[in-house]
Amino acid sequence: MPIIQRLIGLGVDLSTKKALKKALDIIGLSPENIDRLYIELKNEIHRENFGKVAPKYKLVFLPQCLRKSRKCKAKLGEEGYDCIACSKDCRAAEIKRLGESAGYRVFIVPGGSMVSKIVAKYRPKAVVGIACMKELVMALDELRVPTHAVELLKDGCVETDVDMEKVRAALAI
Ligand code: SF4
């Protein structure tokens, strides 16, 4: 049985990375990458409830590193970078367009603390998070609504990238 189904089948708390570690101890497993397992597990656990929420009640968070950061003309405000579509091949702008045309509110944020403030303000019923693994794990530990997370293809904090098929799939759940 795949590990995620085994863990869900245990019927124990899996709401945080710490809880996941305890569950893994119960079944005597120590996977190579617990962070990735945690992200995949959360996506699976939340899939059904996440899918029941209409886009207008969901928020989408993108990391600032998906911008063309060296020439980005967006100003940073209280709700992240205000994209002015200055570049035709900017990943952040592409995802923002895609999300907004599907009815989502999309934010390009510099980090997790701004995510917390925006979530407290808008009180979404579900959240799509696109980020590096470390940021995703921190956000998934904190958020108390159904989530769907998409990990970046590369880290590095500057002009990163993401698998657009996974982003489209997240926006279509
Ligand atoms: S398109 Fe938007 S996010 Fe991308 S570089 Fe220009 S202003 Fe910045």
Q: With a 6 A CB cut-off, is 65 part of the ligand 1 pocket?
A: no
49-53: list long-range contacts, CB under 8 Å, 24+ apart. Answer: 49/126, 49/146, 50/126, 50/146, 50/147, 50/148, 50/173, 51/173, 53/125, 53/126, 53/146
**What is the 68 CA–ligand 1 centroid distance (Å)?**
6
Q: Are residues 88 and 104 in the same domain?
A: yes
Q: Are residues 94 and 112 in the same domain?
A: yes
**What is the 91 CA–ligand 1 centroid distance (Å)?**
8
Residue 155's pLDDT is: 76
Q: Does the pTM exceed 0.95?
A: no
List pLDDT tens digits, range 41-76.
999 999 999 999 999 999 999 999 999 988 999 999
Burial (0-12, 13-18, 19+ Cβ within 10 Å), 141: middle
CATH of the domain at 112: 3.40.50
Q: Are residues 43 and 59 in the same domain?
A: no
Q: Are residues 78 and 131 in the same domain?
A: yes
Q: Are residues 86 and 35 in the same domain?
A: no
Q: Are residues 36 and 90 in the same domain?
A: no
Q: With a 6 A CB cut-off, is 87 part of the ligand 1 pocket?
A: yes
Q: Are residues 59 and 104 in the same domain?
A: yes
Q: Are residues 69 and 136 in the same domain?
A: yes
Q: Are residues 143 and 160 in the same domain?
A: yes
Q: Are residues 78 and 133 in the same domain?
A: yes
Cβ neighbours of residue 5 closer than 8 Å, sequence gap 6 or more? none
Top mean pLDDT of 24-38, 80-94, 145-159 is at 80-94
Contact 23, 30 (CB under 8 A): no
Contact 104, 59 (CB under 8 A): yes
Q: Are residues 159 and 146 in the same domain?
A: yes
Domain range enclosing 64:
53-172
Domain total of the chain: 2
Rounded CA-CA distance 41/34 in Å is 10
